[in-house]
Amino acid sequence: MPTYQYQCADCGAALEVVQSFTDDALTVCPECDGRLRKVFNAVGVVFKGSGFYRTDSRASSSSSDAAKSETAKPEKKSEKTTSDVA
């Protein structure tokens, strides 16, 4: 059974209660008879398996192939001709 956290809106008292999924949420503070609110916290998530990373399900894109081919091409150098020298 899960543990739920509650906090009183009036007195600020915090409590943890083990409840079934089918149980109704608590609404009355046991200390001051104020209004209880359920507290939600961040959950730790671990992704296992494939398909969670950008590189897992992508095919090689043409843009990355084009970038590789551009770096492999030698740069063209301008050649001086006899008409350029005066």
Give domain status of residue 20, yes or no: yes
The tens digit of pLDDT for each residue in 23-46 reads: 999 999 999 999 999 999 888 888
Question: What's the DSSP call for residue 35?
Answer: B
d(CA 28, CA 25): 10
Rounded to 5°, angle at Cα 61 from 56 and 67: 125
With respect to residue 31, please indicate whether it lies within any of the assigned structural domains: yes
Helix (H, G, I), strand (E, B) or coil at 38: strand
The low-confidence residues of the chain, meaning pLDDT below 50, are none
Q: Which domain holds residue 35?
A: 3-39
**Residue 24 lies inside a defined structural domain of this protein:** yes
Structural domains in the chain (count)? 1
Structure tokens at 62: 């043409």
- In the prediction, which pLDDT does 45 show? 85
pLDDT at residue number 46? 84
Helix (H, G, I), strand (E, B) or coil at 20: coil
Check residue 1 and give its pLDDT: 82
